[in-house]
Amino acid sequence: MITSLTDINLTELTAKEFKTSPAAWEDQVLYFLLLDRFSDNNEAGFAENGTTPVFTPADSGNAVTTEQDAEQWRNTGNTWVGGNLKGLTNKIIYLKDLGITTIWISPVFKQVAFEDSYHGYGIQNYLQVDKHFGTNEDLKELVAKAHNAGIYVILDIILNHSGNVFSYDPDRYLITDENGNSFFDSRWDGNKYSVKGFNDSKGIPSIPFKTGIAPGEDEVIWPREFQEPDHFSQKGRINNWDFAPEFLEGDFFSLKDIFLGVGDIDDYEPSEALKNLCLIYKYWIAFADIDGYRVDTVKHMDPGQRDFLR
């Protein structure tokens, strides 16, 4: 596990042949997939010793033939179901036969351990593939097979927020829920909130919110540079999704907003967090020969931030 950006040697990683990315993405036939929902690599006919049969018209609706089955099917929509990089790798020729020239994959990096963020948008480690999806080497293998088949690979990435890696200690906006429980709601009002601490592997803020700590790999956030509190806006969750600057600096529900910088387009000053994110995504290009990125939640980034990335 890479623990710090100082461990990355881009000169060494780039001493190899890379596939040239296309100059115009609009000429590509893109296929977007949510990795956890695509393939678990158990399909008969695609995977060695595959046990899942090919879908037939007779299978339509068979997941909801009883109320128990229907409830299980509904509940499965809220958790991991097993799709992984190996499963996608074994479908590359299938996708090529469909006429696909570029696959666009949902985020693959390590998620917080205490939430079922199968969608990939709750990142806890930016330099490690989530174990539900496989390994870093599995990602490299996928890209290599795709390239051999004439298919490009785009990763969906997030620049403006991380996963639920710390918890607030709010002191305002007391509310009472439907069960009569009262608590302070950490919603955005333009001011910073106090923080209880970084979350451990169970989601408990038991770890000091400061640098120089020694957490486990399922705790806090990685790489180590992101354990600097100033990397986060710390202003609470978005309540009004159309009000600026609330939707620019507030949290996505429990996902924590990353402070990316200040200023207008002509005098924008990127933060250390944004510079570190850029290095992270340079690393993945160098390591796995990724062809491009689709940046998620661009609406929630300042024009200066977007211009900086060009």
Say if residues 124 and 207 touch (Cβ distance below 8 Å): no
Q: Any residues with CB less than 8 A from the CB of 140 and at least 6 apart, and which?
A: 287, 288, 289
pLDDT band at 307 (very low <50, low <70, confident <90, very high): confident
Architecture of domain 5-163+274-308 in CATH?
Alpha-Beta Barrel (3.20)
> Before 205, cis peptide (omega within 30)?
no
pLDDT digits (tens, 9 = 90+) for 111-126: 999 999 999 999 999 9
pLDDT band at 45 (very low <50, low <70, confident <90, very high): confident
Indicate the pTM of the whole model.
Answer: 0.94
Say if residues 121 and 296 touch (Cβ distance below 8 Å): yes
> Before 245, cis peptide (omega within 30)?
yes
Q: Domain coordinates of the chain in residue numbers?
A: 5-163+274-308
Q: Any residues with CB less than 8 A from the CB of 123 and at least 6 apart, and which?
A: 107, 109, 110, 111, 158, 162, 163
DSSP annotation string for 216-236: -TTSS-BSGGGGSGGGB----
pLDDT at 304: 84
pLDDT digits (tens, 9 = 90+) for 61-72: 887 889 998 888
pLDDT digits (tens, 9 = 90+) for 281-304: 999 999 999 999 999 988 898 888
pLDDT digits (tens, 9 = 90+) for 186-240: 999 999 999 999 999 999 999 999 999 999 999 999 999 999 999 999 999 999 9
pLDDT at 135: 98
